[in-house]
Amino acid sequence: MSDERPITRIRVEALHPALSAEAAQWAARLGLPLAGQAEFALQLGEQGLQLAELGPQAPGPIRVDFVEGAVAHRRLYGGGSGQMIAKAVGVQPGVRPRVLDATAGLGRDAFVLASLGCAVTLSERQPIIAALLEDGLARAQRDAEVAPIAAQMRLLQGNAIELMRDWQGEPPQVIYLDPMFPHRDKSALVKKEMRLFRPLVGDDLDAPALLQAALALASHRVVVKRPRKAPIIEGAKPSYALEGKSSRYDIYPKKALKPQG
């Protein structure tokens, strides 16, 4: 996601007095005030950390929840390795690639890949969204059923282009990119997320540099998720694409993924 704008428009607040000290820790970490006028609030409640727009017409808050809700439904009934994202990153019998999700957002796609057995590193540069991810992963690790999946996920907070250029150790086999784009998805969930996130992150104007860095690092392939009718990212051309009803996966293969052993 693109570079964060000034975040003085956000305050941190505890939804229960017992959580005040922990809320103060988040405020100190993120450099945010605990009081004052604000358009948004990073709220700490009994269900974890959430981002809320303030005001009478505001939609409900957003949190990262890997245990219940839409993510749990997709884990249980989403089609497993038959899902298009699984095919796009190369999941097949005997193949569970190491994946870097360089634009992690709320981590839904990363969680799907982890639930299928991939080791996934998540990179998110917007500090507020990274905080939501960190909190969601911590809660997932405390759930007996979901903890083994969360154990497959590692979160890095920082600029993905710099992280990829300075990568240490074995490179990811697959790098997955889902840059912010004027999505045409009409679902209420996506519209709510876009309303909350766009003031913080904007669109990814550096997507070409993101793709270039991914192609330089990935050992086997790069996958870019786009709205179905969106143009490809400027730069190298994908070899092929997988199309769904609203999304498209542009595939940039470098080397074939083969079963281990």
Q: Please give the Cα distance from 111 to 71 (Å, whole number).
A: 8
Tell me: is residue 143 an annotated ligand-binding position: no
The CATH-assigned architecture of domain 69-253 is: 3-Layer(aba) Sandwich (3.40)
**160 CB-near residues (< 8 Å, 6+ apart):** 102, 103, 123, 125, 210, 213
Alpha helices in the chain (DSSP H): 20-30, 69-77, 84-89, 108-115, 127-141, 147-150, 160-165, 188-201, 207-217
pLDDT at 136: 96
Beta bridge partners, 221, equal 174, 253
SS3 81: helix
Q: What distance lies between CA 255 and its chain's CA centroid?
A: 25
Tell me: is residue 125 an annotated ligand-binding position: yes
pLDDT at 179: 85
pLDDT at 35: 85
Phi first, then psi, for residue 72 (nearest 5°) are: -65, -40
pLDDT at 79: 61
pLDDT at 56: 83
Distances (CA, A) of 210 to 92, 117, 160, 246: 27, 26, 7, 23
Residue where the block lists tokens 């769904």: 244
Alpha-carbon Rg for the chain in angstroms = 18
Q: Name residues of the chain where pLDDT drops below 70.
A: 1-8, 70-79, 181-205, 261
pLDDT at 68: 84
Q: What distance lies between CA 152 and its chain's CA centroid?
A: 15
Tell me: is residue 124 an annotated ligand-binding position: yes
pLDDT at 5: 43
CA nearest neighbour of 107 among 143, 142, 140, 84: 140
pLDDT at 190: 55
Q: Please give the Cα distance from 139 to 111 (Å, whole number).
A: 14
Q: Looking at the domain that runs over 10-61, which CATH code has it been given?
A: 3.40.1630
Q: Please give the Cα distance from 237 to 232 (Å, whole number).
A: 8
Angle between helices 20-30 and 127-141 (to 10 degrees): 140
Phi first, then psi, for residue 148 (nearest 5°) are: -60, -30
pLDDT at 37: 87
Domain spans of the chain, in order of start: 10-61, 69-253
